[in-house]
A and B are shown apart, each in its own frame.
Chain A
Amino acid sequence: MATLVLATHTISPAARFKDAVAVAFIALLLGIPMIGLTTVDQGGTLRVATRWPTLFAFVAVAFAGRLILRFAIDQFKAHQLTRERAVDVTTVASASGRAASPLLTWVGWAALGVALTLPIFFSDNRYVVDTATTVLIYVMLGWGLNVVVGLAGLLDLGYVAFYAVGAYTYGILATQFGWSFWEALPVAGAMAATFGVILGWPTLRLRGDYLAIVTLGFGEIVRVILVNWTELSGGPNGIASIPRPTFFGLELKPPGDDPTFASFFGLEYSPSHRIIFLYYLILALALITNVFVSRMRKLPIGRAWEAMREDEIACKAMGINARNVKLSAFAIGAMLGGFAGVFFAARMGFISPESFTFSESAIILAIVVLGGMGSQLGVVLAALVLVLLPELGRDFAEYRMLLFGAAMVMIMVWKPGGILAHREPTMRYVAEGDSR
């Protein structure tokens, strides 16, 4: 009988860190005489000068490089090991499409690498960073909606409502009550989750088309309320001069009386700081969303979402409370949408109901469906396609949306299950040693 263990990396992160520290220490020892100290000719006499910043950079590069190298090697080893063991134990299982996953894992890491370094390469190109920020907003929305549609299988056509709730919660709290971005973020998330539950209640018995129509109606109701409830939402004029997010209390604006980001770090002020800061902010939010959702998938509640998508009656017969499972999916999906909404409001500084029309819901849903329901990486690829295509198509002027539509149709013809239809198992068991 097989003993079951979860596949792990060959070296723990702590060990990897230690290893990198050791390498950095050697780099420091070597670096002091070779880089840190140098001789300069001063008025005919030789004097020893120091170059500590350069030395520090050298040591930092050695540390980071070692860390990355170790990580890459371990990843590679772990994959090989997993594969070998899998082939040993379950020949049949290894034949069933798990071969695709190491490649996808690499694509995922590569995408992360590109995302992390993008503003460094395009620090003076505002357009690129701005567009990348938009892509990331949609990635985050896609990941949020993926919980509802991809995992729990509840077709939601009104997702933009939660995005709007998040944005307006921040807008109102910030302009009326002077809340900061970071204070409002959790509150807006909770608010959106509450709305998720409010929408969830009446739709518990609905499935498929009927559910889609009700959620569509809900999205419209929220928008219409925002247009008409002028005292609260500013009506069609929206809410203007919403404060920008701060970097641990430091504002990113031209130098003034208060310390700003630029003055605190002794940098020369540049408007691109804010653009890049916003980019990293949404990147961080999106990454947290990703980790959060992939963790959830591995928990019993995540498995229950997926089982609910597969067969509701069988689920109930297993003793699962369908109401709680569905409401939790709605609430968590809505909460993530709410977070994205807060960021949207903070980035734009202005929100109005026009930003939250049905076509937004349709685009977010298209991202989830094109990406392959339930696939995290698929959402990234689809968001890239759906945001970049209209941007790239600007040269085609009025034919832009036509091309956009044609591309969507092509993807569905070519890949009916979405770009990445492969479902990752939530658990990988490998048998230890000689098992049979």
Chain B
Amino acid sequence: MMLQLSGVHAHYGSIHALHGVDVAVQVGEVVTLIGANGAGKSTLMMSIFGQPRASAGRIVFDGEDITALPTHEIARRGISLVPEGRRIFPRMTVIENLQMGAVLGEEMNFAVDLKRMYALFPILEERCTQSAGTLSGGEQQMLAIARALMSRPQLLLLDEPSLGLAPLYIKKIFQIVRELNREHGMTILLVEQNAHHALRVAHRAYVLQHGEIILSGTGSELLASPEVRAAYLEAGQKTETAA
């Protein structure tokens, strides 16, 4: 087991956002968490990083209890995050952003990793000396993913990577998620509102509602489940065709 959350509770100020959540991620899997706005998806993701810290329960990564570790120590264990809203460093150049992502890596690997990222995201090579803030939303998302990959993580957390992107970019992002997993063997935990795309790429999935897991299963099981269809897919499909 690569990552195991058991009975995790989390609070945002006085709001009790997670009510004892159990989530597991195995090596080589893509696991996705779907749910409506405010279901606690991002809270769950960030609580793995101790932001906010889990108020009860245990988070174990690679056999080690990381529940109480400081955020940067958790990153050092080999977890990398693509945060919600991308959170790139806007006034720094694309290449400086990638250097920041490589802070934990060996210096000698930097050039190799940079080339790998440029191969994966050619647009980043074109823009390498531009300030990251001047990139388009989709390009920024790619930069955020590339930045997270620069540390050669064992586990990649993707928090709403398709948020606010044009349909073409959404497709591209999910292609990359698939490629990273199927070709490079990257283990990925993906939080998405875009249930349709997320379930298709995921091996397993959890449905989160009001801070609790109400359903789990393989991606195709959930895609076929009438409850999921009614709650997350039909509406999602409609807005997608409308957009």
Q: Determine if chain A interacts with chain B.
A: yes
Interface residues of A (CB under 8 A from B): 1-2, 4, 86, 90, 92-93, 96, 98, 300, 303-304, 306-307, 309-311, 313-322, 423, 425-429
A296: min CB distance to chain B, Å:
14
Q: Check A318 against B100 for contact (C-beta < 8 Å).
A: yes
Task: Let me know if B169 is at the binding interface, CB within 8 A.
Answer: no
Subset of 15 A-B contacts with CB under 8 Å: A90-B128, A96-B131, A98-B129, A304-B103, A310-B91, A310-B92, A311-B87, A313-B51, A317-B49, A317-B75, A318-B151, A319-B72, A319-B76, A427-B95, A427-B96
95-132 of chain B: CB within 8 A of chain A: 95-96, 99-101, 103-104, 111, 114-115, 118-119, 125-131
114-166 of chain B: CB within 8 A of chain A: 114-115, 118-119, 125-131, 134, 147, 151
Contacts of A300 in B (CB 8 A): 99, 103
Complex Cα spacing A436 to B101, Å: 25
Task: Let me know if B83 is at the binding interface, CB within 8 A.
Answer: yes
Contacts of B131 in A (CB 8 A): 96, 423
Interface residues of B (CB under 8 A from A): 49, 51, 70-72, 75-76, 80-81, 83, 87-93, 95-96, 99-101, 103-104, 111, 114-115, 118-119, 125-131, 134, 147, 151
Contacts of A307 in B (CB 8 A): 89, 92, 100
A313: min CB distance to chain B, Å:
6
Q: Check A93 against B128 for contact (C-beta < 8 Å).
A: yes
B46: min CB distance to chain A, Å:
8
Complex Cα spacing A86 to B130, Å: 12
Contacts of B75 in A (CB 8 A): 316-319
A105: min CB distance to chain B, Å:
16
Complex Cα spacing A4 to B95, Å: 12
Chain A residue nearest in CB terms to B157: A317
Q: Check A314 against B87 for contact (C-beta < 8 Å).
A: yes
Complex Cα spacing A246 to B78, Å: 55
Q: Check B125 against A317 for contact (C-beta < 8 Å).
A: no
Chain A residue nearest in CB terms to B81: A317
B43: min CB distance to chain A, Å:
14
Select B127's contact among A92, A304, A316, beta carbons within 8 Å: A92
Chain A residue nearest in CB terms to B130: A96
Complex Cα spacing A300 to B147, Å: 15
Q: Check A310 against B115 for contact (C-beta < 8 Å).
A: no
Contacts of B127 in A (CB 8 A): 90, 92-93
Q: Check A96 against B129 for contact (C-beta < 8 Å).
A: yes
Contacts of A318 in B (CB 8 A): 72, 75, 100-101, 103-104, 147, 151
Complex Cα spacing A426 to B126, Å: 18
Extra 17 A-B pairs, beta carbons < 8 Å, given A4-B111, A320-B103: A2-B125, A90-B129, A92-B126, A93-B127, A96-B134, A303-B92, A306-B91, A307-B89, A310-B89, A311-B87, A313-B87, A314-B88, A317-B49, A317-B80, A318-B103, A319-B151, A429-B95
Complex Cα spacing A324 to B165, Å: 36
Q: Which 3 A-B pairs have the closest CB atoms?
A: A319-B75, A310-B89, A316-B71
Complex Cα spacing A51 to B25, Å: 88
A324: min CB distance to chain B, Å:
9
Q: Check A306 against B89 for contact (C-beta < 8 Å).
A: yes
Chain B residue nearest in CB terms to A300: B103
Chain B residue nearest in CB terms to A321: B72
Contacts of B100 in A (CB 8 A): 303-304, 307, 315, 318, 320
Chain A residue nearest in CB terms to B144: A314
Chain B CB within 10 A, most for which of A86, A300, A316: A316
Contacts of A86 in B (CB 8 A): 129
Chain B CB within 10 A, most for which of A2, A90, A319, A320: A319
Chain B residue nearest in CB terms to A95: B130
Contacts of A1 in B (CB 8 A): 115, 118-119
Contacts of B125 in A (CB 8 A): 2
Q: Given the known A-B contacts A96-B129, A300-B103, A303-B99, are A317 and B71 also in contact in the complex, defined by CB atoms under 8 Å?
A: yes
Chain A residue nearest in CB terms to B127: A92
Contacts of A317 in B (CB 8 A): 49, 71, 75, 80-81, 83
B143: min CB distance to chain A, Å:
12
B172: min CB distance to chain A, Å:
19
Chain A residue nearest in CB terms to B49: A317
Q: Check B129 against A322 for contact (C-beta < 8 Å).
A: no
Q: Check B129 against A313 for contact (C-beta < 8 Å).
A: no
Complex Cα spacing A321 to B100, Å: 12
Complex Cα spacing A313 to B118, Å: 25
Chain B residue nearest in CB terms to A309: B91
Contacts of A314 in B (CB 8 A): 83, 87-89
Contacts of A426 in B (CB 8 A): 96
Contacts of B115 in A (CB 8 A): 1
A417: min CB distance to chain B, Å:
11
